[in-house]
């Protein structure tokens, strides 16, 4: 447990130290957020707020990992590669948005190619690792199901889905970072219980960096994480779920990610088939904004809901 606590404290302090350096640099280079024209009108005032802030906690995770554990195991190394890899895809996306001064960066197929590549690396590593293999834990049971040759494509689907779900959740100040902080704490407790020191260290570094990042990202945000941060967080969380053989558990504890994605899918299908919208705006957090909720209230309730789901998650693996 000590190594996890050390990692949490160190990563937290690193974010507090480098935040005041990186945020002014982002402002100086005019790395400001472009706001979607079809988004909530209340968000227009956020235009120009520095984005790509995910660089802050990505650097913190990397530095902390090397400080606390210089000799990395395979799973820890792969978790870092997945996090940084997805963060790099987001970095390219954010860079194009800034250069072209629009709310769209990489084309969908370009993003997908990058996401599939890193999803394959993670899935293949887990598949050939004798300590992980092709088995997956079934929630609320002691059972493990062997997916056999279908394991790699299934896990790739899960990984790409998770990263894009976290990306969709990043729509309000502190929402993605707050929700993911709670999920990372859940996995920190799980890894400690399993005696996995390396992944527990990774969870501690992730949790501490997000806790520090909330100082700058909570309402009113001084910096946005951008796709650089949201895709990196998706990569980190999906890596933990895969390496711990708990993708179905992630569906529970990451319920907010699931609901946000489903609301977007339902909205698109409904509008294209009937011409009517189910929600006032999608994803779901924007619907509540249109209902008159302040974004701090939405973030608070989504975090509370995630905390409850994590408690259910503990029940799901305690059989």
| Known binding residues for Mg(2+) | 167, 227
Residues 99, 96: Cα–Cα separation, whole Å = 5
Q: For residue 136, list its beta bridge partners.
A: 145
Long-range contacts of 217-220 (CB under 8 A, 24+ apart): 217/53, 217/173, 217/174, 217/177, 218/173, 218/174, 218/177, 218/178, 218/299, 219/172, 219/173, 219/174, 219/295, 219/296, 219/299, 220/173
First to last CA, the chain: 23
Residues 37, 170: Cα–Cα separation, whole Å = 17
Residue stretches of the annotated binding site: 167, 227
Half-sphere exposure of 115 (CA within 13 A, CB side): 30
Residues 253, 272: Cα–Cα separation, whole Å = 31
Q: Are 189 and 182 in contact (CB under 8 A)?
A: no
- Give the pair of three-digit tokens for residue 184: 């990372």
Q: Are 243 and 136 in contact (CB under 8 A)?
A: no
């Amino acid at each position: 447990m000590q190594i996890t606590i050390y990692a949490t404290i160190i990563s937290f302090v690193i974010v507090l130290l480098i935040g005041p350096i990186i945020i002014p640099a982002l402002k100086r280079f005019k790395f400001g957020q472009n706001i979607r024209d079809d988004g909530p009108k209340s968000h227009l005032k956020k235009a120009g707020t520095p984005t790509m802030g995910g660089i802050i906690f990505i650097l913190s995770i990397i530095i902390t990992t090397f400080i606390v554990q210089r000799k990395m195991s395979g799973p820890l190394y792969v978790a870092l590669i997945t996090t940084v890899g997805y963060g790099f895809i987001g970095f390219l996306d954010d860079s194009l948005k800034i250069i072209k001064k629009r709310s769209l960066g990489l084309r969908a197929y370009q993003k997908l190619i990058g996401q599939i590549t890193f999803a394959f690396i993670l899935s293949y590593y887990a598949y050939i690792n004798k300590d992980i293999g092709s088995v997956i834990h079934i929630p609320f049971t002691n059972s493990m199901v062997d997916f056999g040759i279908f394991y790699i494509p299934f896990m790739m689907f899960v990984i790409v889905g998770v990263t894009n779900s976290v990306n969709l959740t990043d729509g309000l100040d502190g929402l993605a970072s707050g929700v993911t902080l709670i999920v990372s704490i859940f996995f920190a407790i799980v890894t400690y219980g399993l005696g996995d020191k390396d992944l527990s260290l990774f969870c501690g570094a992730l949790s501490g960096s997000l806790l520090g990042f909330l100082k700058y990202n909570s309402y009113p945000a001084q910096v946005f994480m951008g796709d650089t941060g949201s895709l990196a967080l998706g990569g980190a969380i999906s890596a933990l779920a895969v390496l711990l053989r708990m993708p179905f558990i992630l569906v529970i504890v990451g319920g907010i990610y699931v609901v946000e994605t489903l609301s977007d899918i339902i909205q698109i299908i409904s509008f294209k088939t009937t011409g009517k919208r189910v929600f006032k705006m999608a994803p779901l957090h924007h619907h509540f904004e249109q209902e008159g909720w302040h974004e701090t209230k939405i973030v608070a309730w989504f975090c509370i809901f995630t905390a409850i789901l994590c408690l259910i998650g503990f029940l799901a693996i305690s059989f």
